[in-house]
């Protein structure tokens, strides 16, 4: 048997057997894409299992992540730390081979995939990072490809159109997408819902496109070679057969998400001439992959030689390189705002972004066509559409793609990316923000226009439930600063946090720069702004100034109200019990004040606490009128607290 055929059949059989043993999974896609995978991994992909995270490796993303046994089989055969026992433990408790791939760069898994389209959008971000870093350091140090497998489901999801449009505009020549065009979805033939000309769509978006028989390995090889030489991103539509080689379930939706069954597997193996027991691999297959990975090892060693020579040629280059790949801590404590002045936190954020940009070359980002409103433009830097070395990204009105692309840049390494939009539109980014948290990616999401007090645009643009929903997301840190000073500290916290994503939530309206005795409270999540021994009022964002005014007013009634600013719940609850008790008090009654849904505040104020918020949609009116109508004036808040304390 031809060795390439043997390798492809080995991938098919490992995938069939893994799914069958788990009695759960998706065998059809791995069997259909095995020939494509064999060509890519043995002839083109430059990775090194002996050093899986070297900076200039090719990136491979399995966007159609339901076919995870394809990736696990490839990684095992290639010599990454994924054993045969790991394949046998597919989808089992505690295994490193879960149902959908979860980011684990040491094992060769570049990102978490499964929600269709997210892998494609994130791969676009990886290619953006490569293009930028190549422009900064030159092709001797950064010059790799991003390969992504996609299926019909990925391309049906709207994010694929957004991300492909952005990639086409940016001319991401190092991005190669291999499309599993098998004509099958869960419900049956894709003709039920999907008739579009996919190559035509991508060609219209500025991509190089090709169409090949996905089981003709020579044609696939030639198409990848041509794609790598084209100055545009490339889509290769590979016509395949789902469950290729299965005697009765090939081209059937039945093979998509269910084990084939012992009889079907036996029939497939017989047709392939396979007589080895389950999970046994021919020695020559391992041998071919060793040769393929040796090519990557050789490429990595040659790259290290170029890097070391480049660094040695100029001492300043060592610090330049380290600033990207091993950045030092960033100190923003010298950024000062005049106390008593007024400034919207979105404007303060713009000041901080530009201060950051001057101190770290890793900061890069932009907005969904809202830079003048989100204040996210980096001065004196071009847009990457004109100069890939630039640091301003014009994402266009594409929040779905922006979120995924930010994740792609973050997991690529070498950059600290951010994406910005109005807070209410974070709903468009929900899959990407959730994946950022799941991947522990250090993505930064900047959200402005954070409450009903944005005013006349009305309830369609006024966030209510968004704070509560993001705080409910495991691993997501949400920072809502009270003023310009807290905004600088919020950015310091976000930049220091490398083990997960951070949202910085900012106001449209001006806020007073508050008096405070010490700084650094944001880094601990919350702190006391005003002392008081009778009750505690905990607030975030724009409501902190209101809380201070309320405390002054209610103090004239004989109530000593402690005011606590709690910009970041997650950082605060990460503190020890002693600090939390010092801030909130152990026996004092607690109330919360936030112009958003009250859901979740019981965690802070307790079951008998008072929660002042807005548990309905907003309204179109000037901000001052909204404050009156929703009871967010010092007098209204003081009255509510007074009545509440009287009832206790």
Q: Which residues make beta-bridge pairs with 211?
A: 237
53 near 106, Cβ under 8 Å? yes
- 161 and 240 share one domain: yes
Q: 481, 512, 543: which is the final residue of a domain?
A: 512
Mean pLDDT of 482-499: 97
- 460 and 547 share one domain: no
Virtual torsion, Cα 443, 448, 452, 455, nearest 10 deg: -160
3-state secondary structure at position 110: coil
Q: 298, 326, 355: which is the final residue of a domain?
A: 298
- State the pLDDT at residue 315: 85
Give the total number of structural domains in the chain. Answer: 3
CATH number at residue 406: 3.40.50.970
- State the pLDDT at residue 39: 98
What gap in Å lies between CA 183 and CA 152, rounded to an integer? 8
Does any domain span residue 304?
A: no
- 548 and 492 share one domain: no
Mean pLDDT of 467-485: 98
- 408 and 359 share one domain: yes
464 near 619, Cβ under 8 Å? no
Does any domain span residue 328?
A: no
- State the pLDDT at residue 635: 98
Does any domain span residue 631?
A: yes
Does any domain span residue 48?
A: yes
pLDDT tier for residue 442 given thresholds of 50, 70 and 90: very high
Does any domain span residue 336?
A: no
pLDDT tier for residue 108 given thresholds of 50, 70 and 90: very high
What gap in Å lies between CA 10 and CA 285, rounded to an integer? 8
Q: Mind listing the pLDDT tens digit for each residue in 312-351?
A: 998 888 899 999 999 999 999 999 999 989 999 999 999 9
- 499 and 559 share one domain: no
- 116 and 190 share one domain: yes
Virtual torsion, Cα 624, 630, 635, 641, nearest 10 deg: -150
Q: Mind listing the pLDDT tens digit for each residue in 66-91?
A: 999 999 999 999 999 999 999 999 99
Q: Mind listing the pLDDT tens digit for each residue in 244-294?
A: 999 999 999 999 999 999 999 999 999 999 999 999 999 999 999 999 999
Q: At what angle do helices 118-137 and 158-170 cross, to 10 degrees?
A: 20
Which DSSP letter does residue 597 get?
-
Residue partners of 313: CB distance under 8 A and separation at least 6: none
Q: Mind listing the pLDDT tens digit for each residue in 530-547?
A: 999 999 999 999 999 999
Q: Mean pLDDT for the chain?
A: 97
pLDDT of residue 518 exceeding 90: no
- 120 and 252 share one domain: yes
Q: 264, 298, 332: which is the final residue of a domain?
A: 298
- State the pLDDT at residue 317: 87
Q: Which residues make beta-bridge pairs with 91?
A: none
What gap in Å lies between CA 160 and CA 149, rounded to an integer? 13
Residue partners of 385: CB distance under 8 A and separation at least 6: 169, 170, 394
- Give percent of the chain above pLDDT 90: 98
pLDDT tier for residue 648 given thresholds of 50, 70 and 90: confident
DSSP H or E stretch at residue 422: strand 416-422
- 117 and 209 share one domain: yes
- 493 and 566 share one domain: no
Burial of 224 (0-12, 13-18, 19+ CB in 10 A): buried
- State the pLDDT at residue 57: 98
- 499 and 529 share one domain: no
Of these residues, 38, 110, 130, 399, which one is catalytic? Answer: 399
CA distances, 243 to each of 35, 330, 459 (Å): 12, 52, 49
- 406 and 281 share one domain: no
Q: Mind listing the pLDDT tens digit for each residue in 365-423?
A: 999 999 999 999 999 999 999 999 999 999 999 999 999 999 999 999 999 999 999 99
CATH number at residue 550: 3.40.50.920
3-state secondary structure at position 465: coil
- 507 and 536 share one domain: no
Does any domain span residue 361?
A: yes
Does any domain span residue 384?
A: yes
Q: What is the pTM of this model?
A: 0.97
- Say whether 399 is catalytic: yes
Length of the chain: 648
Q: Mind listing the pLDDT tens digit for each residue in 28-64?
A: 999 999 999 999 999 999 999 999 999 999 999 999 9
Q: Select from 388, 444, 442 the least CA-distant residue to 411.
A: 442
In terms of residue numbers, what domain contains 547?
Answer: 524-647
Does any domain span residue 479?
A: yes
Mean pLDDT of 450-462: 97
Residue partners of 416: CB distance under 8 A and separation at least 6: 327, 360, 362, 363, 364, 410, 442, 444, 495
């Amino acid at each position: 048997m031809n060795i390439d055929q043997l390798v492809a059949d080995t991938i098919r059989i490992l995938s069939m057997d893994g799914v069958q043993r788990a009695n759960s999974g998706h065998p059809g896609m791995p069997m259909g894409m095995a020939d494509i995978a064999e060509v890519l991994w043995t002839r083109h992909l430059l990775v090194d299992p002996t050093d899986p995270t070297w900076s200039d490796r090719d990136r491979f993303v399995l966007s159609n992540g339901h076919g995870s046994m394809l990736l696990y089989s490839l990684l095992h055969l290639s010599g990454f730390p994924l054993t045969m026992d790991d394949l046998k433990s597919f989808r089992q408790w505690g295994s490193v081979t879960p149902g959908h791939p979860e980011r684990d760069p040491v094992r060769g898994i570049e990102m978490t995939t499964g929600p269709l389209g997210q892998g494609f959008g994130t791969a676009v971000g990886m290619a953006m990072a490569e293009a930028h870093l190549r422009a900064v350091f030159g092709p001797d140090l950064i010059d790799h490809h991003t390969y992504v497998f996609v299926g019909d489901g990925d391309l049906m999801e709207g994010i694929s159109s957004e991300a492909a449009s952005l990639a086409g505009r940016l001319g991401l020549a190092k991005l190669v997408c291999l499309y599993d065009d098998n004509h099958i979805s869960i419900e049956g033939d894709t003709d039920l819902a999907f008739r579009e000309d996919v190559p035509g769509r991508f060609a219209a978006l500025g991509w190089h496109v090709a169409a090949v028989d996905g089981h003709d390995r020579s044609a696939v090889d030639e198409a990848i070679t041509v794609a790598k030489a084209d100055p545009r991103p490339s889509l290769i539509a590979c016509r395949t057969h789902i469950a290729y080689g299965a005697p009765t379930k090939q081209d059937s939706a039945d093979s998509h998400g269910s084990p084939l069954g012992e009889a079907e597997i036996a029939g497939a193996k017989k047709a392939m001439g396979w007589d080895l027991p389950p999970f046994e691999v021919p020695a020559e297959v391992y041998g071919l992959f060793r040769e393929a990975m040796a090519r990557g090892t050789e490429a990595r060693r040659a790259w290290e030689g170029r890097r070391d020579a480049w660094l040695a040629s100029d001492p300043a280059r060592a610090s330049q390189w380290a600033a990207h790949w091993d950045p030092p801590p960033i100190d923003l404590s010298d950024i000062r705002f005049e106390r008593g002045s007024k400034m919207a936190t979105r404007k303060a954020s713009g000041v901080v972004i530009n201060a950051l940009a001057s101190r770290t070359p890793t900061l890069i980002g932009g907005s969904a066509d809202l830079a003048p409103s989100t204040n996210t433009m980096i001065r004196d830097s071009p847009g990457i559409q004109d100069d890939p070395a630039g640091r301003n990204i014009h994402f266009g009105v594409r929040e779905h793609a922006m979120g995924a692309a930010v994740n792609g840049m973050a997991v690529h390494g070498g950059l600290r990316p951010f994406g910005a939009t109005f807070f209410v539109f974070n709903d468009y980014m929900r899959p990407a923000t959730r994946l950022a948290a799941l991947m522990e990616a250090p993505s930064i999401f900047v959200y402005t226009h954070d409450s009903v007090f944005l005013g006349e645009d009305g309830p369609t643009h006024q966030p209510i439930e968004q704070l509560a929903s993001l705080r409910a997301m495991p691993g997501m840190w949400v920072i809502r600063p009270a003023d310009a000073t807290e905004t600088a500290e919020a950015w310091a916290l976000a930049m220091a946090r490398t083990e997960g994503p951070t949202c910085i939530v900012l106001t449209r309206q001006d806020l007073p720069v508050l008096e405070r005795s010490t700084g650094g409270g944001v880094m601990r999540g919350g702190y006391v702004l005003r002392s008081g021994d009778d009750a505690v009022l905990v607030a975030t964002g724009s409501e902190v100034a209101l809380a201070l005014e309320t405390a002054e007013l209610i103090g004239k009634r004989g109530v000593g109200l402690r005011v606590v600013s709690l910009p970041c719940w997650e950082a605060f609850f990460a503190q020890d019990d002693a600090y939390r008790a010092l801030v909130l008090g152990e026996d004092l009654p607690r109330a919360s004040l936030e112009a958003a849904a009250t859901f979740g505040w019981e965690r802070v104020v307790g079951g008998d606490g008072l929660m002042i918020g807005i548990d309905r949609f907003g309204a179109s009116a000037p901000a001052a009128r909204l404050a009156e109508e929703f009871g967010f004036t010092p007098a209204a808040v003081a009255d509510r607290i007074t009545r509440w304390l009287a009832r206790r």
